[in-house]
Structures are given as C-alpha cells and as structure tokens.
Amino acid sequence: MSSAQIIGKLSKEDYRKQKDLEAARKAGTAPAERDEEGKEINPHIPQYISKAPWYLDTGHASLKHQRVPTKDAPKLKDKDTKDEWYARGVRAGPAATKYRKGACENCGAMTHKTRECVDRPRKLGAKWTGRDIQADEVVQDLELGWDEKRDRWNGYDPIEHDKVAEEYERIEEERRKLKATELDKQGPSTTAEAKKIVEGGAGGFSSDDDNEDEEKYAEQMDMPGQKINTKTRTTIRNLRIREDTAKYLLNLDINSAHYDPKTRSMRDNPVAEISAEEAHYAGDNFVRYTGDAPEMAKVQLFAWNAAERGNDVHLQANPTQLALLHKQYESKKEKVKDTNRDSILQKYGGKEHLEAPPKELLLAQTENYVEYSRTGRLIKGLEKAKAKSKYEEDGMYQSSVFDIVPMNICPPYGEYLLIILLSTVSQSNTVYVNNHTTIWGSYWMDGRWGYKCCRAFLKNSYCTGLVGIEAAKAASASHLLGNGFTSAANSDDGGQPKTLLEQHLESKKKNKGKDKDKDSSANSHLKRKDLGEGDIELDQKKLKRALKELDDPKKNGGKEEEMDERKRKYNSAYGGADGKSGMDGEVSEEQLEAYRLRRQHYDDPMANYKDENDD
C-alpha cells in the first residue's frame, strides 16, 4: 500500500520504513506496487498524481482516477443528435380499444403507473369502464453527459424568442403612433422639429428621437456616485459615494486612530468616546469579528485539538469533513451538558430557582449604588441611562441645549450665551418638568445654574415658587454662613467631590492622633494601639531598667511568687517589681522590647554558638 493511501498519523518507525520501501522501489531492488487490476504502478509518479481525491478514494493503491473511463462512461453522440431532447406531449401511435393488463387504471396507458398518472382522476377508471383509453407516451432514454445535464439552455426552442421580438415590435409601433398624435396636437415649435417631421414621414418619428429620449432618461436616472456621459456613452463610477464624511475627517486629533492612505483603512475607532449605538463608524477592526469569522476561529481551534489527538483533519485540505466533525462534536457536547444539568437538578432539585424572574422584578430594588453631590453631580456609581426618544417629553430637549454651556463660565458671558441660546428656541414647544415655569439654566448665582421661577439650583427638583424664593433669601449665605456657603459651593462645582467613604477615611485619619494626648483611665487599654505596631519611640532609660529587672530574678517578681495569691494586686504579673509599669500595671513598650532581647530562640541553630576566638 502506498503512502498516499495510508490514513491517520504514522509513528516515526513506520514513517522510516515507508520511506525506505519507496526508495527501494525507485532503485529497483524492491518489486513495484500493483493496483487492484494487477497493473504495476510506476514508483516515480509524484504523490499528487498517484493519490486519489477523498471523493474517489477506494482505500487501496490505484491510478484508476487518472484514466479515462471506457465501459461505464456514456458514448459520445454524433453532432446530429446533440440537440436531441425529450419529446413533450407526443403520443406513440393510436390508443388501444380495450384495457390491457398492467396499464394505468385511470387512463389506460402502458407507459406509466396509476400513481404517476397526470390526467384528471376519474370516478371510474379505464380499467372498469374500458372507455376513453389514452395512447402511450413516447419514452426516450437520453444519454446526457456532465455538461449537457447542467446546460440551462438545453432543450430550449429558439422559436419561443420570436414571440418576445414580435411583442416588442408591437409596443414600439404603438409608442410611435402615440408620439405622432402628440406632435400633431402641439405642432412644430421650431424649424428643426419641422424638418424631423418631414424626414420621418407621416409618423414624424426617426431613430434620432429614440436616442435623445434614452439620453434624457439616462441623465435623470443617474445613481449616486455615478456619472454618465451621453456624448461618449461612457459610465464613470467613483470609488466612494460622497455623501458621508470621510473616515479620516471624523477626528482631526493627530493622536487618534491611524489612517493608512495606501490601503485606505483605519483599524482603530476614531471616536472612542461615543457609544457604539450612536457611532456611525467604529473602525475597520469590527470586520474581523463579524459574519463567520468567530465560527471559523472555533473550527480552526477544533482542528488543532483534533490533530493533537491523532485525527487526520485539516481546515484547508478538507473543510467539509472538518465541518461535519465539528458539528457532530458540538451536538454531543450539548447533549452531555444537558444530561449533566438534568441529573444534578433531578438529584438536588432547585429547578424553580432557575426559572424565577430577576430580583429587580421580585423586590422592586437593585444593589446598584449611586452617589451624588449637593449639586446633583455624579460622584460614584453608574448614572441611569437616558431614554432614547425623538420626543421632547422624554427629557432630551433640555439636556441637548444646556449641556453646551460650561458650568463654570463667567457670569456676564454666561448670561449673554444663555440669552442667545434661548432666543433660538421656541418657548411654545418647551416642556417643563416638576411644575417649573422656566427651564433649568435660566438663573445664575455664585457660579451655579438654577431655575428662575423658584431659584433652585438642584436640577430636576420640584418647583416651590415664590415660597422657595423667600426661603432662599431668609437662609442666604450672607445671613447664616457668611462666605462659607459660597466657597463650599464653588469648591463643590470646581473641584472633584469626595464620596462618603473618602470623607470617612479623612475624618478617621484626623482623629487618629487625638487618642495619644488623652490621660490614662480605666478604659485606656481599649483605646490605645496594639503593642509593637506602628512607629515606636523607646525611652533608653526605661529600656535599661527593664533589662536589669529581667536579669535580676529577685527584682523581677520574687516577692510576688512568695506572696499569697489572694493578696496579689490586679495586673501585678505584668508589671515590674512593684507591680506597676508605665501604664498603670500594663506592659510598656520598653518592657516588651526587653523581653524580645532576652528571649531564648530554641529553634535557632546559631543561638548557643560560641566562637573559640572570643575565649
């Protein structure tokens, strides 16, 4: 068996044996390979010739696919019979006078069966009545080749096209008559038209009129980006329909997406700040992930994994086989996944939880945390998406106008710009929300915009009218807070507002050093920091005293050990010789440091090391 017919992966040993056998056959030391008919196969024939395609592969060595078929192939027909086709509707001789056995029970013809009869079904067929027996059809056995079977015009009668030409001529004749009657009614307006009428005869029609009409209609029906020159009869089509903005003009920033003029491609998104729903162009990279590109990547990955497991599959060599294997693999994978899921649900239950509606519908609330500043600016979280609508009632009107005005613009210029904007807007079409009579941005004070009707600075707040204005005057910054409110407002609008968490951490940091200055009390051990943590400042005198107490066992607590347990003072075991330390009997930082210095490290192999040179 040749190497072309071996299916699957070969080991190194088998591959070496196969190459040695091929080399021996080429050298003449080994007998040549034979096909299924016993004929020798030339070992010098290349593999791409000797190897049969996958749709003609018989499983063994053969060159049959390279030879012209002789027995099974249809014979070549003569030139006289190349136009032969099925004779439709032709009957073979006269009809029979009585019913024949094996004929159609409906019409009585012998060339087809009852179930294949195309005549009208009779109440009583020809088998039982013996009347109106139809003649037999002409059955032809045409031996058509591969090209003849696929020829769309095979069997077409050219006479049928004559009917189309006749109909076209009749239409043209009627059009000429109609145009002649219109010219008779209007009369010749110029000398040139009078000459055409004379030259055209009684009908007043010539071929030049047809050409002018065609040119006139062609100029009116020009497509976008296409120009038809009626004089030279040439069509010029531009490479681009110049109706949209060019991709390299969408963003003029030099640091934006790169445009390659040679390939006319811009891979990145030039307007990345715009959402995908609103952007008309988002770069050329989207083509890589559209259509069948992701599916092709999955099939390629499946082919690589299958080849590693010993399967002889390849995406480019045999894509049909790979597609079928991948489809079969995906179906089996889904079945296994569904089986595991059903077995788990059947064993542990909980199917009703999978079919439950979302928590937003059940509890009417979500866990989305959003935090705003005093002026309504977003500090933390995601802002609620705006409803996309073309109607002004949905709140799109106000945001589209006043988002143009900067929040921190100088007051006089802001008023002028606001007046210009308001003058261009029809107040009759304005939609006011929350009982306001003016739009947000109609009032300016202390660097903030607001509503003029109630002088409220919070957007989308409810209108309070004159009562709100009086309350704002009574509680103004000049009467209550002086300039503090104004500076706070300016800092809130100008700077970045802080979240509640950041404010809490700042206050905690400020109050961190206040506990050190407080006097010790009965609950001081609850407020102080843990020993040995943070930056420690040790008193050297207290440290030496603590080391001396540890070195002298008598001062370290000999009296306490001899003392009765009932007479021992509270926390005396943690203090010095007198049962006290720097913090009312508690362990001080110096005592803890002295203990660490004198502690014996039994796990340290160098703890009892003694150098001989030190003696």
Show which of 24, 40, 66 is a domain's final residue. Answer: 66
Q: Is the pLDDT of residue 473 over 60?
A: yes
Question: 577, 580, 581: which is closest to 549 by C-alpha?
Answer: 577
Percentage of residues of the chain with pLDDT beyond 70? 66
pLDDT in tens, 251-279: 988 888 999 999 989 999 998 888 877 88
Q: What is the reported pLDDT for 480?
A: 53
- pLDDT tens-digit series, residues 43-73: 999 989 988 898 888 888 888 888 887 655 5
Spatial separation of the C-alpha atoms in residues 144 and 52, rounded to whole Å: 26
Please say whether the beta carbons of 415 and 444 come within 8 A.
yes
What span, in angstroms and rounded, lies between the C-alpha atoms of 250 and 284?
14
Of 321, 342, 363, which residue sits at a domain end? Answer: 342
Beta strands per DSSP E along 219-264: 226-229, 234-237
Say what the pLDDT of residue 218 is.
Answer: 53
Same-domain check for residues 543 and 603: yes
Per-residue confidence (pLDDT) for residue 80, from 0 to 100: 47
- The per-residue pLDDT for 388 is 62
Q: What is the pLDDT of residues 497-507, one digit of tens each?
A: 777 788 888 88
Residues 500, 457: contact at Cβ < 8 Å? Answer: no
Q: How many CB atoms lie within 10 A of CB 493?
A: 19
Of 349, 369, 366, 368, the C-alpha closest to 358 is 366
* Torsion angle of C-alpha atoms 454, 457, 461, 466, degrees rounded to 10: -10
Q: Which two tokens stand for residue 333?
A: 């994978």
The rounded percent of the chain whose pLDDT value lies above 90 is: 25
Whether the pTM exceeds 0.75: the reply is: no
Give tens-digit pLDDT for 557-598: 555 455 566 666 665 554 544 444 444 457 788 888 888 887
Check pLDDT > 70 for residue 481. no
User: Residue 492 pLDDT > 80, yes or no?
Assistant: no
- The closest alpha carbon to 490, from 417, 413, 414, 407, belongs to 407
Residue-range definition of the domain harbouring residue 566: 536-608
Residue type, 494: G
Terminal Cα distance for the chain, rounded: 90
Q: 477: pLDDT confidence band, cut at 50, 70 and 90?
A: low
Separation CA 491–CA 506 (nearest Å): 17
- DSSP bridge pairs for 135: none
pLDDT higher at 220 or 294: 294
**Residue closest to 519 by CA, chosen among 527, 531, 509:** 527
Q: How large is the average pLDDT for residues 196-223?
A: 56
Indicate if the pLDDT at residue 369 is higher than 70. Answer: yes
**Predicted local distance difference test score (pLDDT) of residue 441:** 86
CA distance 418 to 2: 88
Indicate whether 604 and 540 sit together in one domain: yes
Q: How confident is the model at residue 25 (pLDDT cuts 50, 70, 90)?
A: very high
Cα separation, 551 vs 136, whole angstroms: 133
Q: Is residue 591 included in any domain, yes or no?
A: yes
Pairing of strands 40-41, 448-450: unpaired
CA–CA separation, 418 vs 451, rounded Å?
Answer: 13
Backbone angles phi, psi at 609, to 5 degrees: -75, 135
The pLDDT-based confidence of 176 (bands split at 50, 70, 90) is very high
349 lies in some domain: no
Q: What is the pLDDT of residue 416?
A: 41
Q: State which of 209, 243, 277 marks the end of a domain.
A: 243
pLDDT in tens, 396-441: 444 444 444 444 444 444 444 444 444 444 444 467 888 888 888 8
pLDDT above 60 for 324: yes
DSSP secondary structure, 367-381, as one string: ----EE-TTS-EEES
3-state helix, strand, coil in the chain (%, to 5): 40, 5, 55
Report residue 229's pLDDT band, with 50, 70 and 90 as the boundaries.
Answer: low
Give the mean model confidence (pLDDT) for residues 205-228: 57
Rounded Cα–Cα distance for residues 211 and 169 (Å): 17
Find all residues with CB under 8 Å of 145, minimum gap 6, and list them.
Answer: 74
pLDDT of residue 13: 93
Q: What is the pLDDT of residue 196?
A: 61
- pLDDT value at position 588? 84
Q: Are 585 and 570 in contact (CB under 8 A)?
A: yes
pLDDT over threshold 90, residue 612: no
Q: Is 498 exposed, middle or buried (0-12, 13-18, 19+ CB in 10 A)?
A: middle
Can you tell me the distance from the alpha carbon of 575 to that of 83, in angstroms, rounded to the nearest whole number? 124
Whose tokens are 């068996």? That residue is: 1
Strands 226-229 vs 234-237: parallel, antiparallel or unpaired: antiparallel
> 3-class SS at 333?
helix
Is 161 part of any domain?
no
Q: How many domains does the chain have?
A: 4
CB atoms within 10 A of CB 334: 10
Q: How many other CB atoms are there within 10 angstroms of residue 95's CB atom? A: 14
**Are residue 297 and residue 239 in the same domain, yes or no?**
no
| Surface-to-core class of residue 2, CB atoms within 10 Å of its CB (0-12 exposed, 13-18 middle, 19+ buried) | buried
Residue recorded with tokens 């100008």: 494
pLDDT of residue 24: 94
* Cα 295 from Cα 301, distance rounded (Å): 10
List, in sequence order, every residue forming a beta bridge with 41; answer none if it has no partner. Answer: 33
- Residue 526 pairs in a beta bridge with none
Instruction: Specify whether the CB–CB gap between 64 and 39 falls below 8 A.
Output: no
Q: Is the pLDDT of residue 454 over 50?
A: yes
Q: What pLDDT shows up at residue 577? A: 45
Structure tokens at 524: 């001081």
Q: Does 348 fall in a domain?
A: no
Span 517-563, pLDDT tens digits: 554 444 444 444 555 555 677 888 888 888 888 887 655 555 545 55
Q: What is the pLDDT of residue 408?
A: 42
| 10 alpha-carbon distance from chain centroid | 41
- Is 108 a member of any domain? no
Residue 1 CA to residue 223 CA, distance in Å, equals 64
In this predicted model, which residue has the larger pLDDT, 88 or 196? Answer: 88
What's the rounded Cα separation, in Å, for the pair 399 and 197? 68
**How high is the pLDDT of residue 333?**
95
- How far, in Å, are 2, 33, 45, 56, 72 from residue 62 at the CA level? 9, 9, 12, 10, 18
Q: Strand 226-229 vs strand 136-137: parallel, antiparallel, or unpaired?
A: unpaired
Please report the pLDDT score of residue 439 as a whole number.
Answer: 87
81-85, 101-105, 582-586: range with lowest mean pLDDT: 582-586
Burial of 441: CB neighbours in 10 Å, binned 0-12, 13-18, 19+: buried
